[in-house]
Chains A and B, each alone.
Chain A
Amino acid sequence: MEGSLISKAYIVSGMPQVLLAPDQSPAWGRLRAAYQALAEDIQQQQADLILYYSTQWLSILGYTFQADPKPEWVHVDQNWHELGSIPYQFLIDTDFAASYAAEVDQLGYKTRLINYRGFPIDTGTIVAQKLLNPNNRLPAAIVSCNMYSEKEETTRIGQAAARALQKSGKKAVAVLVSNLSNRFHIEKIDPRQDKVSSRKDDEWNRKILDMLGAGDVEDVAQTVREFARQANGDQKFKGMWWLNGLLGQTNQFEGHIHGYEPVWGAGAALVALTPTAPVVARPLESTLGSEEGSQAEMVEELTDFERVTRPVVQPSSQLVIPAPVMRKAPPVMPASPLPDYEIVSKTSAEPVGTYPHARRYGDLLFLSGIGPRKHGTKDIPGIVFDAQRKVVSYDIRVQTQSVIDNIKKILEEAGSSLEKVIDVQAFLTNMAQDFPGYNEVYNEAFKHIRPTRTTVEVGALPTPIAVEFKVIARP
C-alpha cells in the first residue's frame, strides 16, 4: 500500500519442529505448507527489510539490536536438539538497527547494538528466517524482547520501530515470532497424535484467531493480559503489544489465518495482516499519553514486585482504564470476572517480598500476613536488640497491638474496617510464653467483633517478630 510503512505483517510460530521435522506430524506438515504460502507472499512484497520481534530472544538490560552485518552459525535448540542442527546466515540492515536503537534511546530505555561472532540468535527467529526469507532477499532487523517489559513499554518499542522506518524512508515486512498458548506436553509424545495441551488453551487460541482473522489487531492487544493468564501466552503474548504499536494501534487490517496447529502442545498459528489504511508513525510526543491515561496504565502494568514498592492504593472505583478502540463489533469475550485487585497500603509496613498488603477477590478482602513493623522504618515495636541485632527481649503485648493497628490501617485504606473482620489466623513464635499477653490484647480489640480465630505456633517468621496475623474481612 502506497504511503504505508508496513507492507504486510505476520504472526508466526518459531517452533523448530516445523522446520526440521514436518514429516513427523501431520499438524507440523500443515504448518510447513502454510509457511511456504507466507514465504511466497513475502516474495511479492515491495519492502526494504524484514523486521523480527521474537519472544525467544530475551533481554534484561533494555533492548538489544542485532548489528552484525552477516551473523552466521550452526544452531542447535537447547530443548529440541535431537531434531538436528540449523546452519544459518542472516543479512542484517545495520543502518536500520542503529536508527531503531536511537529511537528507543529517546524513550529512556537502555539499548545495545550487538556485533559479536557467535552471538546466539534465538531458535524462533532462525526458524522464521529460514522459512520466510531463506535467501536473504530482504535484509533483516531483529530486536529483543525484554523479559520485564509490560504493555506500555512494549507498545512504545513497536511505535519506535515505526518512527525509525519513517525517518529512514524504508518500508518493512513485520514478523512477530510467538506461539499463542505456550503450554507444552511435558512427556514424550507421538507427534502424529499432537494436540493443543488443553481445551481451554485451544478455545482461547481460537478466540484470538477469530479477532486476528477479522483484522482486529488493536482489539487483540487489549485482550493480551487475559489471554496470557488463561492460556499461558508465550512470554505473556507481549509480542502482540509490540506489533500493535508498530502497526499504529488500529483495527484497519485484513486478516488471514494461514494455519493453526499444535506443536508439542503449544498453539502455533500463522497469520497474515494486510493494512487497509496506511500504517504511519506516531510522533514521539503523541505516544507519551495523558497524565491520567499514564497513571491508569501504570497501575495496570505494575509488576508484582513494583506493586509492593509503590504506595498506590487502588480501589476499583478509582481505576481509570482507557476504553479500547473498537471500530467493529466487539468479539465475544468471557463473562466479566469478579472484582480482583490488590491493595498496597501507604501507611502500613512495607512487605518483605512480592505480595500486596491485601487483595480483594469478589466480596472478600484477604490480607497478607501482617506483623508489627511500622511503615517507613525497620523498627519493630516492643523489641530490644543487642549490637549484633540479636533479640534481647520483646513485649508481646506491644507487638500484638501494633499488628492490630497495622491491620486496621490496611482495612481502612481498602474501604473496610476492623469491625468487618470475619476470620483471624494468628501465628506466635512462642506459644507457651506469649499466648497470655497476646490473648489479652486481642480480646480487647476483638471482643465485640468476634471473628473466628485460629492461633498456632510457628518455628520462625521472616523478620525477628513474635506475632503475625492473617485476616479475612468483608470489604
Chain B
Amino acid sequence: MKGQIVAGVLSPHPPHLVYAENPPQNEPRAECGWEVLRWAYERCRTNIKALKPDALIVHSPHWPTVVGHHFLGLPHFKGLSVDPIFPHLFRYHYDVRVDVELSKAIMGQCEQAGMSTTLVTNPDFRLDYGSIISLHLINPDWDIPVVFISSNQAAFYFSNEVGNQVAADVGHATRRAVEASGKRCVLLASNSLSHRHFVHEPDIPEDMSFERIHHHGQYLWDMKILDMMRRGQCRELLDIMPEFNEMASAETKAGALTWMLEAMEVPSYPAVVHGYGTVIGTGNAVVEWNPSLIQGA
C-alpha cells in the first residue's frame, strides 16, 4: 500500500510551553502560563492521535548542520535535554524510539536527488531541544516512532531563496520516501513565526503580564501569514516566504515550514489555526493541515 502524509503541523518549540505544563519528564515547575498556545496544542494532539500515524517526522532548527542533511540512525535515544538558552525552564528527560528504516529511506531519497546526507550512529548524541519540545507537545505519550531531520543552514551563505529551495528539495524527498514506505506519517515543522526575542524576562517566567509581541510589524506579518494558511494559500505563502523570513526575523528561515508544505504538495485547502500567542516576544502558532478534517472523513 502506498504510504501517505496524513497531516502536517506547524509546531513551534518554545520551552516555556513544556515548562508551564509541568510534565513529569521536565525538572522545573511552573504555576501556569501560555495557556492559549498550550490549549491549541491539546486540540491539535487529539486530532493527531485519532489519525494513528505510524511515524512522526520532525524538522527542527535546533539541529543545525552545514554539510547536508542529517538523520538519526539508531533505534533508541535516551537522555537529558537542557535548553542552553532557557535552562531554568527546560531540563527534560527524553526516551525516544526512532524509525531508522524510514530515516534511511528519506536519506536515500535525498542522496538520489544529489544531496549530502549523514547518519548519526553515535549513541552519546544528544537530541536537540527543539525537536523534543515539538514532539512532547504533539505526542506527550511518546508512543509513536520518530524521524528527526536536521536543519541545513548552509543556505544562509547564499540567500533566503536558496534556503527555501534546499528545504523544498528535502520535502520532496521526504514525500517520495513516505509513499514508498507504505506508512502513514505526520510531519512536524518545528518553527515559530516572527522570531525577535526580548532580552529580559520577568522574575517569574510565567508572569503573563509581560508577554506581548516584540514589534507591531512582526504581528502584522504573522497575521498575514496565518491568514494565508487559513485561506489555503500555501503556494502564495511559499512565494513570499523569503521576504517574511527577512522582514519578521522569522524562524521559518530554518526551513521547517517550507520542507513540510512542499512534502505535502503545497496544500490548497484551509489549515486549522488552533491558536496564536507570543513567547518572549516571538510569534508562535499551532497550525494543522489535515485533509481528513476538511473532507469530513
Q: Which residues of A does B touch, CB under 8 Å?
A: 57-62, 64, 74-76, 78-79, 81-82, 84-85, 109-110, 112, 114, 116-120, 122, 146, 148, 183-188, 232, 264, 305, 308-309, 350-355, 459, 462-463
User: Which residues does chain A contribute within 8 Å of B95, judged by CB atoms?
Assistant: none
Report the bound CA distance from A180 to B121 in whole Å. Answer: 31
Report the bound CA distance from A187 to B116 in whole Å. Answer: 6
B91: which of A75, A116, A305 is its contact (CB, 8 Å)?
Answer: A116
User: Which residues does chain A contribute within 8 Å of B196, judged by CB atoms?
Assistant: 305
Q: Which residues of B does A touch, CB under 8 Å?
A: 63-68, 70, 80, 82, 84-88, 91, 116, 118, 120-122, 124-126, 128, 150, 152, 154, 157, 196-197, 199-201, 215-217, 220-221, 224, 236, 246-249, 280
When the two chains form their complex, are residues A59 and B85 in contact, meaning their CB atoms are under 8 A apart?
yes
When the two chains form their complex, are residues B124 and A62 in contact, meaning their CB atoms are under 8 A apart?
no
Report the bound CA distance from A309 to B218 in whole Å. Answer: 12
User: Which residues does chain B contribute within 8 Å of A305, judged by CB atoms?
Assistant: 196, 215, 249
- Beyond A62-B200, A146-B199, A305-B196, whether A120 also contacts B126 by CB under 8 A is yes
When the two chains form their complex, are residues B200 and A61 in contact, meaning their CB atoms are under 8 A apart?
yes
When the two chains form their complex, are residues B85 and A81 in contact, meaning their CB atoms are under 8 A apart?
no
- Apart from A59-B85, A76-B126, A117-B80, list 18 A-B contacts with CB within 8 A: A58-B84, A60-B280, A61-B197, A78-B63, A79-B65, A81-B70, A82-B118, A84-B122, A110-B199, A112-B88, A114-B88, A148-B197, A186-B66, A186-B154, A232-B157, A352-B221, A353-B217, A354-B247
Nearest A residue to B220 via CB reads: A352
Can you list the 4 inter-chain pairs with the closest CB atoms, starting with the nearest?
Answer: A353-B247, A186-B154, A118-B80, A85-B124
User: Which residues does chain A contribute within 8 Å of B201, judged by CB atoms?
Assistant: 61, 110
When the two chains form their complex, are residues B65 and A78 in contact, meaning their CB atoms are under 8 A apart?
yes
13 pairs, A vs B, C-beta closer than 8 Å: A60-B85, A61-B280, A76-B124, A78-B63, A79-B65, A79-B67, A109-B199, A110-B199, A112-B88, A116-B82, A351-B217, A462-B224, A463-B220
- Beyond A146-B199, A186-B154, A353-B248, whether A81 also contacts B87 by CB under 8 A is no
Instruction: Identify whether the interface residues of A are mostly helix, strand, loop, or mixed.
Output: loop
When the two chains form their complex, are residues A184 and B66 in contact, meaning their CB atoms are under 8 A apart?
yes
Nearest B residue to A109 via CB reads: B199
Nearest B residue to A463 via CB reads: B220
User: Which residues does chain B contribute within 8 Å of A119, judged by CB atoms?
Assistant: 82, 84, 87
Chain A: minimal CB distance from B45 (Å): 27
When the two chains form their complex, are residues B120 and A81 in contact, meaning their CB atoms are under 8 A apart?
yes
Report the bound CA distance from A79 to B220 in whole Å. Answer: 35
Report the bound CA distance from A355 to B249 in whole Å. Answer: 11
Nearest A residue to B155 via CB reads: A186
Nearest B residue to A265 via CB reads: B66
Report the bound CA distance from A474 to B183 in whole Å. Answer: 61
When the two chains form their complex, are residues A354 and B82 in contact, meaning their CB atoms are under 8 A apart?
no
Report the bound CA distance from A308 to B220 in whole Å. Answer: 15
Report the bound CA distance from A148 to B281 in whole Å. Answer: 14
When the two chains form their complex, are residues B64 and A79 in contact, meaning their CB atoms are under 8 A apart?
yes
User: Which residues does chain A contribute within 8 Å of B116, judged by CB atoms?
Assistant: 186-188
User: Which residues does chain A contribute within 8 Å of B246, judged by CB atoms?
Assistant: 353-354
Report the bound CA distance from A183 to B66 in whole Å. Answer: 9
Report the bound CA distance from A378 to B59 in whole Å. Answer: 37
Chain B: minimal CB distance from A204 (Å): 15
When the two chains form their complex, are residues A354 and B217 in contact, meaning their CB atoms are under 8 A apart?
yes
Interface hub of B64, B116, B217 (most chain A Cβ within 10 A): B217
Chain B: minimal CB distance from A252 (Å): 33
User: Which residues does chain B contribute within 8 Å of A58, judged by CB atoms?
Assistant: 84-85
When the two chains form their complex, are residues B91 and A185 in contact, meaning their CB atoms are under 8 A apart?
no
When the two chains form their complex, are residues B154 and A184 in contact, meaning their CB atoms are under 8 A apart?
yes
When the two chains form their complex, are residues B221 and A60 in contact, meaning their CB atoms are under 8 A apart?
no
When the two chains form their complex, are residues A118 and B91 in contact, meaning their CB atoms are under 8 A apart?
yes
